[in-house]
Amino acid sequence: MFSDVNLNMGQFLNESVGQIPTFCGIKYTSNDLDGGAAALRANNGKYAVFLGADTIMAGAFAMGFDSAIATTLNIYPQYAVNILKAISESKVEEAAKVQEQLSAVVSIITKNGAWVPTMKVAMNLVSPINVGVVRPPFENLSTEHSGEMEKSLKIHFCVYIPYGGHTLEISPSDVCFGVSNKVLSTARV
């Protein structure tokens, strides 16, 4: 996805049978759900296929993905948790609403740059852990773009996370500039 090298992962998984004795699965980062379905079905579902695409979680979980390795899990894990829970309870519309919110947050974060540099800035804004800056060949966001992201997250961040007929009301400062534990402890149903 980031390298412009595209492989049919279903075909790759089927052809890898017996080739690498310790091979057990992949991280599927493409937004192509057909390809994801093929990967899930490969070799009769023998392999672990982790979803790596943040903006298609609802659809992917609905079609059978049951795990994810996604960048936004490090920043806003509650979205993925709520999407997976809604899908597991057959509440597809609820999952779609939460997915829309997560996708909106991703759009705010990636508005002014490439995926890796923008996500690093977002993690540094949201988390108490300094994940540093990007290494070449990536370029860091300008101070101006980092400031725009911070401002946008403060202003536009979704402060209502609907789930199961309830709405968790979370202040933007608790979510955007606090730790996940704090977010969960300050949520009010």
**84-106 tens-digit pLDDT:** 999 999 999 999 999 999 999 99
Identify whether 112 is part of a domain.
Answer: yes
Whether this prediction's pTM lies above 0.85 is answered by no
Task: Evaluate whether residue 105 is within a structural domain.
Answer: yes
Confidence label for 175 from pLDDT (cuts 50, 70 and 90)? very low
Number of domains into which the chain is organized: 1
Q: Is residue 59 part of a domain?
A: no
Domain-located, residue 140 = yes
Q: Which domain holds residue 176?
A: 92-186
Distances (CA, A) of 16 to 9, 26, 39, 43, 166: 10, 12, 12, 9, 46
pLDDT given at position 159 = 35
- Distance (Å, whole) CA 161 – CA 169: 7
pLDDT for residue 55: 97
Residue 16 lies in a domain: no
Whether 126 is covered by a domain: the verdict is yes
Per-residue pLDDT at 62: 97
Give the confidence band of 56 by pLDDT, cuts at 50, 70, 90: very high
Per-residue confidence at 2, pLDDT binned at 50, 70, 90? low
Report pLDDT digits (tens) over 130-153: 899 999 999 999 999 999 998 888
Distances in whole angstroms, Cα of residue 134 to Cα of each of 7, 18, 142, 147, 179: 26, 37, 12, 17, 22
Task: Determine the residue type at 79.
Answer: Y
The answer, yes or no, to whether residue 113 has pLDDT greater than 70, is yes
Looking at residue 126, its pLDDT comes to: 81
Paired with 51 in beta bridges are: 28, 68
